[in-house]
Amino acid sequence: MVEHGDIRVVHRGGSKINFREPVITNDSKFLLCASGECVKVFSTSTEECLHDLRGHTDLVTGVIIKPSNHLQAYSCSADGTVRLWDFTDGILIKTYVIGHPIYSIHASASHEGVVFVVTSMHADKRPDLLQLVAVHLPRSGDQMVEARELSAVLSDVSSNPLAIAFGRGGEFIASAKGLQLEVYIFRKQKAYRFFLKEDNKKGGRNTFTCVACHPKDDCIATGHEDGKIRLWRNFNQKKEYTYSTLHWHHSAVSSLCFTPEGTNLLSGGIESVLVQWRYNQEDQREFLPRLGAAITHIAVSPDGSLFFTSHSDNKITIIQSCLKVSAAIQGLVKGENVTTDLMMDPRSKSLVLNGKPGHLQFYSLQRDKLLYNLDVVQQEYIHESGLQQFEVVKAAFDASGTWLATVEERKQKGAEVELNLKLWEFDEQTQSFVLNTTISAPHEAQITDMCFCHSTDNQTTMLVSTSKDGHFKAWQLDAQAHTEADERPSWSCDFVGAYHSLVPECCCFSADGSLLAVSFQEVVTVWSTASWELLTTLSQPPKAIRNLCFGRLSCSKYLLGTTGNNLLCCWNLLTCSLEWSTSMDVSLLLADPISENMAAFCRQAGSTDLFVFKPSEPRPLFSQKAVCPGKVTRAIFAPREEMLESCEESSQWLNRSQLYFLTQHMDLMTFTTKVEEDRLMASSKQLVIDDSVAMTPFYLLLGKHRQQDSRDAQSISAERTPLPQGSVAIKELLQTPAHVLPSTSFLCSMFVQSLLISVTDPREEDKATEEEMESEKEEEDSEEEMESGTTRPEQAPLGRQAAESAAPALTKAQVRELRRVKKLDRSWFAGLLDS
């Protein structure tokens, strides 16, 4: 990544969490997910992201718990390093440099000090040939260690980590690739290979897709392309091996997993049904259907009480072992492509794009969390590949966020395109969008562009759609049809426009809504929205217009367009002439809705450059070469909640809004300034991580004693180093986006300390204990009194708030019970723990 001044391109939210199998810690409290360039640690009880393990400089390709220490985890990355983390505190312990890009990592308890990684050793000769290599991790105190002691175990393995599995107690390792299963038995130092026939006779495709090994028996389960599961036994013989076949899935089995005791086998695939097979009684199987999207990975917690399934829609579902879904961790849903543009919902300030099939998703960038899905298509989605089903292809919001227009489309071979234009109205009562009008077949061909009139005077709301059938249509909320009492106003077509039977491509309203610009191939037509008069035409032949954009605010007299022959043109609408033009291959042009700034992504030699400029000024405000490889087709300016006070000229354009864009590989990236990063770093450095136990009722019980103890200790230390002003901490707490904040438990103590007067009075301390004893005598004590007895009065409201926010699932009865037990003195218990 190219560093440019103080502005950097970073992953910030919305990255994949289903890329690799989730890893569950031994106590089933945390979930570790490889996510972009970091490892995310989720709490399994609250589904919140606790923190990120940052340090890798390329895609993280695997995470495992260190077999000899269950509080540490290895992660591997395409940057050629294996890193050891203390994942509870988020501390990088060690970095082992391997030197070759790593595709997956495996380890077993019986191989002390060795991890197995899949890497391509001979990158120069055959880059596609991957090897499974045993890496002896050198014992050294250094932070950065070079691991050069590599020994190849298996050659030619699959890059899919699911196709490699350790067998019973690490005695053997099984690897599948293509039509071959290879079992390497460590004690015998011998590999056995088993081949399947390429059987296309009955549509059977025998290719291996995944492997799992039974934890107690010598049994390997393999999943296949045609949905079969084979259970291999007796594989320590060349010939007398045997297998049995299970068949339920109709498409490829994507993941297999045995439960820790080996009593059940879990399998999943595109059907999005989790199948549980009873081991040795395979005809007894149980199903958990309707999981929403194709299952990509399955993991089981070490105690077997929870199952975790990753899904293709960037979701991790937490399932209890009785096959009941208990929770879901949802990331930004990114299908194979984003068909709608990236949009901002003006009300919730969330990012909107198409997510699950047939849905629009509302994703909060600030909290890095999916808010909700809007079912646009309202039809059952069939989980089968190769079916043509309705998809949301276009969506647009009006300026106030009260109206949402969506276009859904179904293409079928040999049939006409089916189109539906739907208009949704925001309902204040239910706080969601309600379908107002459905216009089936609004155009005869695909809709190319759609936009609302962004006028400030809200008399008429207007929508314009352009289509390949050569027309653009203006739709308006029909006030006349408002005659019947119970009928709400609905949308109808107001105007149909065309220009020389050319195909319209883009449309754009001017900032005040008085002008509409529609591009017809190489011609830009400007229409008056009041009278539907063609005012003028602008053109810059010979190539067609690609993007069209009106300037904002002070630059609203400018209309910008890009053409196919690498030209960026700026027309002045007052003079109806070309103001300036420059030659660049712009793939995407977009305007910041709250400033005059415009951003242009240009393709340059395989990568994309970014220019930020004002239409009125000749010099760009900011430019960065090689922002990312490949083409950028989707981007959005997201307004900031809090203005940034940056004084540097080149980063001032980021003060009011943030620019997000989607790369070729569907990664959501953004730009950060140095100021912003410094602030983040500062806040995370201040938080000395002492205790990251999740907020549980038990923690509340025990915590009060712990807190007191630690406060005693801290109050002593506070005398030595006086804390900085409390207001800073409060500011950090309130200003930092939620997704970068550490868990509330340590924020709390920091916050409280900032409020404390650093002078401690021993008398006051005594008084407090007295109060506590008093409160114990009185059974029906009020809440305030009790808490003032247990904790310092300043902390009380916040402590309660923290407890409540962390454990929202508590019912009233539980809270009452908690209060009761809180009154009991458990100091003996804390003492027991301390001793």
Partner 1 sequence: MGEFKVHRVRFFDYMPSAIRAMAFNSRTERLALARADGAVEIFNFADHYFQEKIIPGQDGRAAEALCWVGQRLFSAGLNGEITEYDLENLKPKYTVEAYGGPIWAMSSNGEGTLLAVGCEDGTVKMFEILSERIQFQRNLDRQKGRIISLSWHPSGKLIAAGMMDMIRIFDAETGHSTYRLLVDRGFGPSRCKEVVVWSIAFLSDHTIISGDSAGKVQIWDGLTGTLVRTHPVTKWDVMALSVSPDESSVLAGTSEGTVIQFQFITATMDQQDKEWVRTRTFKNHSHDVRALVHTETAVVSGGMDTQLVVRPLLDKVEKNTHESALHKIAFPHRNLVCCAKKAGLLLFQFSDHLELWRIGESDGHGKPGDSLPVKRKPEKLIQLKRKGEHHICSSALSPCGGWLAYSTLSVVRLYRLQYNDNDISITKVSKLPKELRSVHQLCFSSDSSKLFASSSHSSVIVVALNQLECKYLHTLRPKSGSVQPVHLLCASEDGKWLATASTDCEVHVYNLCKQKLHCTVPVYSSCPTAIGIHPTTSNLVVAYADHQIFEYSLIQREYTDWSRKLQKQGLHRLWLERDTPVTHITFSSKNPAHIFMHDTFMFCIIDQSLPLPEARTMLYNQMTLRSLPEHERLRQSHAFKICKTFKHLMCVRLLEDHSVVVVERPLLDIMSQLPAPVRQKKFAT
Backbone angles phi, psi at 747, to 5 degrees: -65, -40
Which residues, 6+ apart, have CB-to-CB distance to 817 below 8 Å? none
Nearest approach in angstroms of CB 237 to partner 1 is: 9
Footprint on residues 266-285 left by partner 1 (CB under 8 A): 280-284
Q: Which is nearer to partner 1, 245 or 412 (CB)?
A: 245
Nearest approach in angstroms of CB 221 to partner 1 is: 13
**308 near 317, Cβ under 8 Å?**
yes
Nearest approach in angstroms of CB 665 to partner 1 is: 36
Q: Which is nearer to partner 1, 136 or 216 (CB)?
A: 216
User: How many chain residues are in contact with partner 1, going by CB under 8 A?
Assistant: 23
Nearest approach in angstroms of CB 381 to partner 1 is: 19
Nearest approach in angstroms of CB 218 to partner 1 is: 5
Footprint on residues 570-629 left by partner 1 (CB under 8 A): none
DSSP 476-519: EEESTTTTSTTPPPEEEEEEEE-STTPPEEEEEE-TTSSEEEEE
SS (H, E, C) 584-618: CCEEEEEECCCCCCEEEEEEECCEEEEEEECCCCC
**Four-point Cα dihedral 306, 311, 316, 318, nearest 10:** -30
Nearest approach in angstroms of CB 641 to partner 1 is: 52
Q: Which is nearer to partner 1, 234 or 758 (CB)?
A: 234
Q: Which is nearer to partner 1, 96 or 235 (CB)?
A: 235
State the sign of the Cα–Cα–Cα–Cα dihedral 608, 614, 618, 623.
negative
Q: Which is nearer to partner 1, 111 or 249 (CB)?
A: 249
Footprint on residues 675-734 left by partner 1 (CB under 8 A): none
- Residue 30 CA to residue 354 CA, distance in Å, equals 30
**148 near 134, Cβ under 8 Å?**
no
Site string for partner 1, 120-159 (x = CB under 8 A): ----------------------------------------
Site string for partner 1, 205-244 (x = CB under 8 A): -----------xxxx-------------xx-x--xxxxxx
Q: Which is nearer to partner 1, 384 or 778 (CB)?
A: 384
- Residue 269 CA to residue 286 CA, distance in Å, equals 15
- Residue 450 CA to residue 441 CA, distance in Å, equals 15
**631 near 665, Cβ under 8 Å?**
no
Structure tokens at 258: 């045995």
- Residue 593 CA to residue 577 CA, distance in Å, equals 24
Nearest approach in angstroms of CB 253 to partner 1 is: 15
Q: Which is nearer to partner 1, 116 or 243 (CB)?
A: 243
The percent of the chain in helix, strand and coil, each rounded to the nearest 5, is: 15, 40, 45
- Residue 736 CA to residue 716 CA, distance in Å, equals 29
Q: Which is nearer to partner 1, 206 or 562 (CB)?
A: 206
Q: Which is nearer to partner 1, 241 or 495 (CB)?
A: 241
Footprint on residues 281-340 left by partner 1 (CB under 8 A): 281-284
Q: Which is nearer to partner 1, 166 or 452 (CB)?
A: 166
Structure tokens at 406: 């969506």
Q: Which is nearer to partner 1, 216 or 543 (CB)?
A: 216
Nearest approach in angstroms of CB 236 to partner 1 is: 5
Q: In angstroms, what CA-CA distances link 183 with 120, 179, 195, 233?
A: 20, 13, 12, 11
Nearest approach in angstroms of CB 158 to partner 1 is: 24
Give the strands of the sheet with 462-467, arranged side by side: 447-452, 462-467, 472-478, 490-497
Footprint on residues 160-189 left by partner 1 (CB under 8 A): 168, 171, 185
Nearest approach in angstroms of CB 217 to partner 1 is: 4
Using CB under 8 A as the binding rule, whether residue 110 contacts partner 1 is answered as no
Nearest approach in angstroms of CB 282 to partner 1 is: 8
State the sign of the Cα–Cα–Cα–Cα dihedral 366, 369, 371, 373.
positive
Nearest approach in angstroms of CB 281 to partner 1 is: 7
Question: C-alpha angle 549/551/557, rounded to 5°?
Answer: 115
Site string for partner 1, 520-559 (x = CB under 8 A): ----------------------------------------
Footprint on residues 244-263 left by partner 1 (CB under 8 A): 244-245, 250
Q: Which is nearer to partner 1, 219 or 395 (CB)?
A: 219
The residues of the shown chain that bind partner 1, judged by CB under 8 A, are 168, 171, 185, 216-219, 233-234, 236, 239-245, 250, 280-284
